[in-house]
Amino acid sequence: MLTQLFGNYLLKQHLVSPSHLIEALRESSSTRVKLGVLAIDAGLMTPEQVDEIHELQRIMDKRIGDLMVEKGYLSPEQIAVLLKSQKSGHLILGQALIDNGHMTTAQFADAIRQFKIDNNITDDDFYDVKDELTEKMLGRFYKLNGNVAGEEHLVEYVSLLFKNLIRFVGDDFVPNKIEKLDTTASGAKQRIRHGLSAITIIDADENTMVEFASRFSNESLSMNDDYTKACISEFLNLHNGLFAVKLSNNEGLEIELEPQKYYEQMDLSGLGNL
């Protein structure tokens, strides 16, 4: 989830374009984090030192790790540790952006450093993300500040939603700020009742719906037909079911879910401040 929030940060700071970010996110599964990015993230080398090594490698037939050792920037032991370290999503995203020429190593280093400072997070947080940290960051991201009814449950809902999107659909997305919906929408809808009252909706353009349903069902779909709509509705029901179980286990709240349904046109004018 921190990777997706970092992606939004890059957009907000105008460091990358939306198309370049989506391209990098989609290439993440095939991107290999290189030693230079690992060294920068670990604070063992500066971007300037990494660029220097890359320039040397252009004219010398030597491995990048050997050059780093020869220059005295890293020891063989440090290289071994870096190569065995866990590759966090933000490093993979940064490497993809660098590989595609959309960011320099220095720009990435500055961006990730400032992102950590602004959100008061440590290097370890990227590798062991706790629910408490995610929910705290989402509360700041959406600027709730105790001014929204049911804020605690809203943050829990969104946090779990992002996790389920990553788990069942894919991680190539970034969150956007809260926006008021139009008066009408087309998509899947389900009401949550009793211990918590809410209306949940998945609404998107047809191409996005088809891609979403294809990923969720692990099938290649081409039309926004009844099967596609059923897949969208089932994801909403699955997520809401997991959310209801979480609230029941953690807070003893009994949640009832009305049957999910796909609507071609939903009137949102009477739903309040959505």
Dmax (CA) for the chain in angstroms is: 69
* 106 and 31 both lie in a single domain: yes
- Full domain range(s) for residue 108: 2-127
d(CA 15, CA 167): 28
The structure's pTM equals 0.75
Which among 88, 104, 127 is the end of a domain?
Answer: 127
Q: What percentage of the chain has pLDDT greater than the value 70?
A: 92
pLDDT tens digits, 52-79: 999 998 888 888 999 999 999 999 999 9
Do 22 and 120 belong together in one domain? yes
| Low-confidence winner among 22-31, 53-62, 96-105, 138-147 (lowest mean pLDDT) | 138-147
Residue 111 and residue 204 share a domain:
no
Domain membership flag for residue 150 = no
pLDDT of res. 129: 62
In a domain, 214, yes or no: yes
**Nearest 10 degrees: CA dihedral of 152, 153, 159, 164?**
170
Residue 211 located in a structural domain: yes
Residue 143's contacts (CB-CB under 8 Å, 6 or more residues apart) are none
In this structure, the answer to whether residues 6 and 123 fall within a common structural domain is: yes
Tell whether 162 is covered by a domain: no
Upper half-sphere CA count for residue 59 (Cβ side, 13 Å): 4
Task: Count up the domains in the chain and report the number.
Answer: 2
With 60 as the cut, is the pLDDT of residue 272 above it?
no
Residue 137's pLDDT is: 82
Tell me, yes or no, whether 114 lies in a domain: yes
Q: What integer best gives the mean pLDDT of the chain? A: 87
- The predicted-structure confidence for 136-179, as pLDDT tens digits, reads as follows 788 778 777 665 556 778 888 988 999 899 889 988 888 887 77
According to DSSP, the residues that pair with 257 across neighbouring strands are: 192
Cα–Cα distance measured from residue 170 to residue 154, given in angstroms and rounded to the nearest whole number: 22
Q: Do 115 and 189 belong to one domain?
A: no
Burial state string for 110-129 with b = 16 or more CB within 10 A and e = fewer than 16: ebbeebbeebebeeebbeeb
Residue 218 has pLDDT above 70, yes or no: yes
Q: How confident is the model at residue 189 (pLDDT cuts 50, 70, 90)?
A: very high
CATH number at residue 224: 3.40.1550.10
Nearest to 49 by CA among 31, 72, 32: 72
Relative orientation angle of helices 105-119 and 2-12, to the nearest 10 degrees: 110
Same domain assignment for residues 18 and 109: yes
Distances 148 to 133, 151, 186, 200, 258 between C-alpha atoms, Å:
20, 5, 26, 17, 24
Q: In this predicted model, what pLDDT tens digit does every residue of 219-265 receive, in sequence order?
A: 999 998 999 999 999 999 999 999 999 888 888 888 899 999 998 88
In one-letter notation, the amino acid at residue 272 is G
Task: Give the three-class secondary structure for 181.
Answer: coil
Domain boundary among 127, 148, 172: 127
Task: Give the 3-state secondary structure of residue 224.
Answer: coil
Question: Which of 105, 127, 149 delimits the end of a domain?
Answer: 127
Do 99 and 10 belong together in one domain? yes
Q: What percent of the chain has pLDDT over 90?
A: 47
Residue 165 lies in a domain: no
Please check whether residues 78 and 188 belong to one and the same domain: no
Q: Are 122 and 218 contained in the same domain? A: no
Nearest to 213 by CA among 171, 222, 175, 200: 222
99 shares a domain with 29: yes
pLDDT bucket at 121, cuts 50 / 70 / 90: confident
Q: Which of 196, 195, 193, 225 has the alpha carbon at shortest distance from 209?
A: 225
Residue 274's pLDDT band (cuts 50, 70, 90): very low
Is 170 within a domain?
Answer: no
Query: Do 15 and 118 share a structural domain?
Result: yes
**136 within some domain:** no
Residues 10 and 86 in one domain: yes
